[in-house]
A = this chain, B = another copy of it.
């Protein structure tokens, strides 16, 4: 029995999706069809969404679940689906917050994931450009500007973690790959020696790294178990020797890696979600 879940918003739908997804992951054994209806910012669009929801429910024969972050009152009050469970985020929580803050809320759309101000945009772009320019040791002369420098062997997850740190938190994160020579010598690479306090290591289980590397390049020793095991052992030994904090990426999502690194290093977010 499949059930349709609608994420309804007068803006991007990111908040409605985040809320709904967090809740739905708590229910196992159900199959959901996920439909996002973003930018419902006129009465006509809201009415069309109501028709779409009603038609889908009739077709499927199962009442849908609807997560709404409509906030403008004229739209929110008009959005009254005649089937399904409606979870209206602002309707639930604005009243207690208004009471606590002794203020009326603005009920104006587009604040959560809007551009807000050029400053926030510039922070993200600056951090993203920094991550791109300082990816994979491409340059090593800007580490004084880095909030942190991830180190690890090839394909241990450095690049996506740096990009996520930049886009989500505006953090300036560089990354430096540990080469075979450096791993063999066991000495901290010259390029990062001066910035030891900014280093954070990644490691990963050999089986998983082998799997990731195979998809990239199956030939040569790159994805063989002896090579992968050697590199990981040597990297971890280097982290221990130089007391570089590190994290095992195997069972972690990019969000978890980024959050953990911020928590453990104390690096401050420059922007908020």
Separation of A111 and B24 alpha carbons in the complex (Å)? 9
Contact indicator A259/B97 (Cβ below 8 Å): no
Contact indicator A12/B256 (Cβ below 8 Å): yes
Contact indicator B103/A29 (Cβ below 8 Å): yes
Q: Mark A1-30 against chain B: 1 for CB-CB distance below 8 A, else 0.
A: 001000000011111011101111111111
The number of residues on chain A lying at the interface, defined by a beta carbon within 8 Å of a beta carbon of chain B, is: 80
Which B residues are in CB contact (< 8 Å) with A58? none
Contact indicator A107/B253 (Cβ below 8 Å): no
Known: A93-B23, A103-B29. A15 touches B18 (CB 8 A): yes
Contact indicator B15/A103 (Cβ below 8 Å): no
Contact indicator A69/B22 (Cβ below 8 Å): yes
Closest to A107 in B: B26
Contact indicator A260/B103 (Cβ below 8 Å): no
User: Is A164 part of the contact surface with B, judged by Cβ < 8 Å?
Assistant: yes
Number of copies: 2
Closest to A260 in B: B39
Which B residues are in CB contact (< 8 Å) with A14? 18, 255, 259, 273
Known: A19-B89, A116-B253. A38 touches B259 (CB 8 A): yes
**A263 is contacted by which of B38, B87, B159, B164 (Cβ under 8 Å)?**
B38
Closest to A125 in B: B160
User: Is A254 part of the contact surface with B, judged by Cβ < 8 Å?
Assistant: yes
User: Is A163 part of the contact surface with B, judged by Cβ < 8 Å?
Assistant: yes
Q: State the A residues within 8 Å of B (CB).
A: 3, 11-15, 17-19, 21-30, 34, 38-39, 63, 65, 69, 71, 85, 87, 89-90, 92-94, 96-97, 100-101, 103, 105-108, 111-116, 118, 120-122, 124-125, 128-129, 132, 135, 157, 159-160, 163-164, 167, 208, 211-212, 215, 251-256, 258-260, 263, 272-273
Seed contacts A18-B273, A87-B96; 12 additional CB < 8 Å A-B pairs: A15-B19, A17-B273, A21-B112, A24-B97, A26-B106, A27-B103, A28-B103, A38-B259, A92-B93, A113-B255, A114-B252, A122-B215
